Structure 1
Amino acid sequence: MSERPSSVPASAPSLGDSLVQGWGGPDDDQALPPPEWGRPERSRKTATVWLFALLILVLAAGQALLAGRFTHEAFLAWATVFTAISLQALPFLVFGVALSAALTAFVPARFWQRAVPRRASLAVPVAGLSGAVLPGCECASVPVAGGLIRRGVAPAAALTFLLAAPAINPVVVVATVVAFPNQPEMALARFLASLAAAVVVGWLWAAFGRSDWLRPPRTHHDPDASGWRVFAESMRHDLMHAGGFLIVGALAAASVNVLVPREWVTAVADTPVVSVLAMAFLAVVLSICSEADAFVAVSFTEFSATAKLAFLVVGPMVDLKLIALQAGSFGWSFVRRFVPLTLALTLLFSFLIGGWLL
């Protein structure tokens, strides 16, 4: 028998052995080659830079070639809505991604084990009330919730925070008071209805939710890396990932916004139940940032106060761009169950709190 070449370590498996035993040895159940096998090393940072450079070139070329051709009013309205949604949400998305990366990199898991109660009946309302502390919109809440789940927080509590933070934070409350100067009860009704819906969703998810319904957010860094490296890698990945779904949601929202005639909306304003459902539908498709939606709601003068409340409660918890972000972070199996539950409870508490206070 010929000797093994000196350049190959005695412990290195052959190709045939590797396919049978796995690349890590006979005790390793992963019978696949390592991802980098047979491929030259590539820098992800370099690829990201070139991707952005290519995107900028395509946009510049498209603007030069197509400017002046798309001047139809419907297209201009679509472009305006798409740009407004994207630019309005992007700063908050970056803030949420940065906060999520900081939680992943610098806050140890044992902190959350001490800060969040173990019992779901207590953890859910604590997470809901903590949403009143963080100023941000729904785009920021998704990556933050993913970061909390990665650090060991119970999914029910993290999802409660995801719903409550964009609806009851101080910026949103103040904006609602300013938008409705003669109706201070609107801000109180919004706070109570949003908090109640978020907490009940969390309790129901804790009681009936299954682990296979929610795809756990993945960790995209070396566990032995330094804190700053983990922060940079987590932020880069989450920003590219969530940013893509934000664009998809903005495209869908802009398209529906242009295709649904305003006359159809005003025609149902005089019907109590239908008007609430119509305003909830508008909140979903318009996908307005929670810091600005109160100023849009007050402009619908034909609708009742309860219908406007539904617009303010549903929008920060269920809209097209938020659905896209949730699907990208937690999977469509999660969205199919979580979104209908959230929509039903936001409508229920809009009717209950609106009928009581407004």
Structure 2
Amino acid sequence: MRLGSLEVLAVLLVLLVLARSHLAGLLASPGMQTWATVFVSVLVQAVPFLVFGVVLSAVIAVFVPRSFWAKALPSHPALAVPAAGLAGVILPGCECGSVPIAGSLIRRGVTPAAALAFLLAAPAINPIVLTATVIAFPGEPQMAIARGVASLVVAVAMGWLWLRLGKTEWIRLPHRPDLDDASKAKAFWAACRHDIMHAGGFLVVGAAAAATINVVIPAAWLQSLAADPVISVIALATLAVLLSICSEADAFVAASLSQFSLTSRLVFLVVGPMVDLKLISMQTGVFGRRFAMRFAPATFVAAVLVGTAFGAVLL
């Protein structure tokens, strides 16, 4: 008999109950308490936006006809990329929501380059994120401007790079049940269940990895890295990947890293919404491993270079 997700969950719950006394002693250690706090905080930040993204993705899949996208975006792919990137301004969400939305856009016939530009831009240039950046850096409005412009440039550049070098076979969207013959309500809930299972599971894996990194990396290391301007940029870019902070909250974390330069903190804010552990995991679940292992490193390099350049000019 094949076990389903409900049976697996039931088995895990039984095992947790049987091992509760051992787990209680393990969780009493300071390291495990820190791990649990970070793990839960990442999930609490991300889940509402993941749900929002999944619901919007289902709406796109079920209620928006394919012909809409032909009218909404320029027909030429090179022009569709910046248009899709700018569309991220109107979506108040984070990277967890943009991944399933981008997958749904590709399913509805949007060129992958435009969908990927939207995926990268939406979490970084929407009004909520930019407003949070202004609040986190009082008296330094140029930080929000630099973040918005640099993030949009990276998103458009990666979309154009995909047009130039990307291959269709690198994107393998998980099979979704045929929704065309079902009622609108049934198709909507089927799409929601499908996307939450694929994206949600990888979100948990990414949150666990981020929590582990938070416990393993000593805080004293950051102090020693801040003195060198080049190393500090690389260090904060790497830290953005490892911490996996939601884009609505990362500006306040960047502001607290006052020992680092504004340029290195700008790179932190540009990299984080585009490349982090939970996002890489979710991209693997939605687009496939071959896509994630190529797209994430290229995006990281582009975000570091563009963020550094804009920091040098504007900050």
TM-score of the aligned structures, taking structure 2 as reference length: 0.95
Q: Report the Cα offset of residue 216 of structure 1.
A: 3.3
1:225 partnered with 2:163? no
Whole-angstrom distance in 1 between the partners of 2:37 and 2:14: 21
What is the match of residue 327 of structure 1? Answer: 284
What is the match of residue 315 of structure 1? Answer: 272
1:346 partnered with 2:303? yes
1:287 partnered with 2:237? no
Whole-angstrom distance in 1 between the partners of 2:128 and 2:16: 34
Q: Report the Cα offset of residue 59 of structure 1.
A: 4.5
Q: Report the Cα offset of residue 335 of structure 1.
A: 1.0
Higher helix share: 2
What is the match of residue 44 of structure 2? Answer: 87
What is the match of residue 172 of structure 1? Answer: 129
Q: Output one character per residue of 1:2-45: Cα deviation in whole Å (capped at 9) or x when no partner.
A: xxxxxxxxxxxxxxxxxxxxxxxxxxxxxxxxxxxxx9xx9x9x
Specify the code of the residue in structure 1 equivalent to 2:139: N
What is the match of residue 101 of structure 2? Answer: 144
Structure 1 contact 149–217 (Cα < 8 Å) conserved: no
Specify the code of the residue in structure 2 equivalent to 1:350: G
Q: Secondary structure, in 3 states, of the residue corresponding to 1:298?
A: helix
Q: Report the Cα offset of residue 229 of structure 1.
A: 1.0
Q: Structure 1: which 4+ aligned runs deviate by more than 4 Å?
A: 47-65
Unaligned runs of 5+ in 2: none
Whole-angstrom distance in 1 between the partners of 2:58 and 2:139: 41
Q: Report the Cα offset of residue 144 of structure 1.
A: 0.3
Matched ranges for 1:235-246 at <5 A: 235-246=192-203
Counterpart selection for 1:118 from 75, 84, 88: 75
Counterpart selection for 1:100 from 28, 36, 57: 57
Structure 2 contact 146–311 (Cα < 8 Å) conserved: yes
State the identity as a percent: 55
Specify the code of the residue in structure 1 equivalent to 2:201: G
Structure 1 contact 193–349 (Cα < 8 Å) conserved: yes
What is the match of residue 215 of structure 2? Answer: 258
Whole-angstrom distance in 1 between the partners of 2:16 and 2:145: 44
Specify the code of the residue in structure 1 equivalent to 2:95: E
Whole-angstrom distance in 2 between the partners of 1:222 and 1:212: 23
Whole-angstrom distance in 2 between the partners of 1:270 and 1:209: 38
Structure 2 contact 26–32 (Cα < 8 Å) conserved: no
1:197 partnered with 2:134? no
Whole-angstrom distance in 1 between the partners of 2:294 and 2:71: 30
Q: Output one character per residue of 1:268-312: Cα deviation in whole Å (capped at 9) or x when no partner.
A: 101011101100011000000000000000000100000110110
Q: Output one character per residue of 1:221-241: Cα deviation in whole Å (capped at 9) or x when no partner.
A: 343111111110010111111
* Cα gap change, 1:60 to 1:105, in 2 (>3 Å): farther
**Size of the alignment, in residue pairs?**
315
Whole-angstrom distance in 1 between the partners of 2:228 and 2:121: 29
* Cα gap change, 1:330 to 1:69, in 2 (>3 Å): closer
Q: Report the Cα offset of residue 69 of structure 1.
A: 3.8
Unaligned runs of 5+ in 1: 1-38
Larger Rg: 1 or 2? 1
What is the match of residue 183 of structure 1? Answer: 140
Q: Report the Cα offset of residue 68 of structure 1.
A: 3.6
TM-score of the aligned structures, taking structure 1 as reference length: 0.84
Instruction: Please tell me the root mean square deviation across aligned C-alpha atoms, in Å.
Output: 1.8
Structure 1 range deviating more: 227-236 or 55-64: 55-64
- RCO greater where, 1 or 2, for CA within 8 Å and sep 6 or more? 2
Q: Report the Cα offset of residue 256 of structure 1.
A: 1.2
